[in-house]
Amino acid sequence: MTGRMTSWFILPLLLLGACRSATPAQGAPTVDLTEFSIMALGTFDAGPNAITIHNDGQFGHTLVIADKDGTVIDVTGVIAPGESSVYSVNLNPGTYELSCRIVIQTGEGQLIDHYQEGMLTAVEVGASS
Ligand SMILES: [Cu+2]
């Protein structure tokens, strides 16, 4: 009787282990910001994500997460040059646009729009595994 109960408890643990190892290990979601590009690395999963954001540039940058219709889901504060931040956000499956929306004015009065300069990229969020 005891042996039979033990096997019932072991089976779910083995299945859980099999599911974990079947998940492709592509790394934690990471976003690199610089002038003027955004690079998304790693896997963005449905559900909670802890996104590590690096500002490798010389200006402050933000990360704006919008859905495919352009609706803003979440916005970070300004991330200073050389700083890193971990940002938590819940995502549903789908396509998202990551961008920076800072607009600065140079001493000569010229406007530099980070989004128009190329700070945008798309990420796919798959169904949760
Ligand atoms: Cu920016």
CB count in 10 Å sphere of residue 99: 22
Mean predicted lDDT score pLDDT of the chain: 85
pTM, to two decimals: 0.76
What integer pLDDT is reported at residue 11 of this predicted model? Answer: 44
Residues with CB in 5 Å of ion ligand 1: 61, 100, 102, 114, 119
What integer pLDDT is reported at residue 71 of this predicted model? Answer: 94
Cα–ligand 1 centroid distance for 34 (angstroms): 7
26-125 to CATH, choices 3.40.50.300, 2.60.40.420, 3.40.50.150, 3.50.50.60: 2.60.40.420
Report the share of the chain in percent with pLDDT over 90: 74
In the chain, the N- to C-terminal Cα span, in Å, equals: 35
33, 53 contact by CB (below 8 A)? yes
What integer pLDDT is reported at residue 127 of this predicted model? Answer: 72
Joined tokens for residue 104? 């600065």
71-88 pLDDT, tens digit each: 999 999 999 999 999 999
Query: Stretch 90-101: mean pLDDT, rounded?
Result: 96
Distance, in Å, from the CA atom of 32 to the CA atom of 15, rounded to the nearest integer, reads 36
Cα–ligand 1 centroid distance for 102 (angstroms): 5
What integer pLDDT is reported at residue 122 of this predicted model? Answer: 96
Long-range contacts of residues 22-26, Cβ cutoff 8 Å, at least 24 apart: 23/129
Environment class of 51 (CB within 10 Å of its CB; exposed 0-12, middle 13-18, buried 19+):
buried
From 127, 128, 75, select the one nearest 97 (Cα to Cα). 75
Cα–ligand 1 centroid distance for 83 (angstroms): 13
Residue 47 predicted with pLDDT over 90: yes
What integer pLDDT is reported at residue 2 of this predicted model? Answer: 47
33-45 pLDDT, tens digit each: 999 999 999 999 9
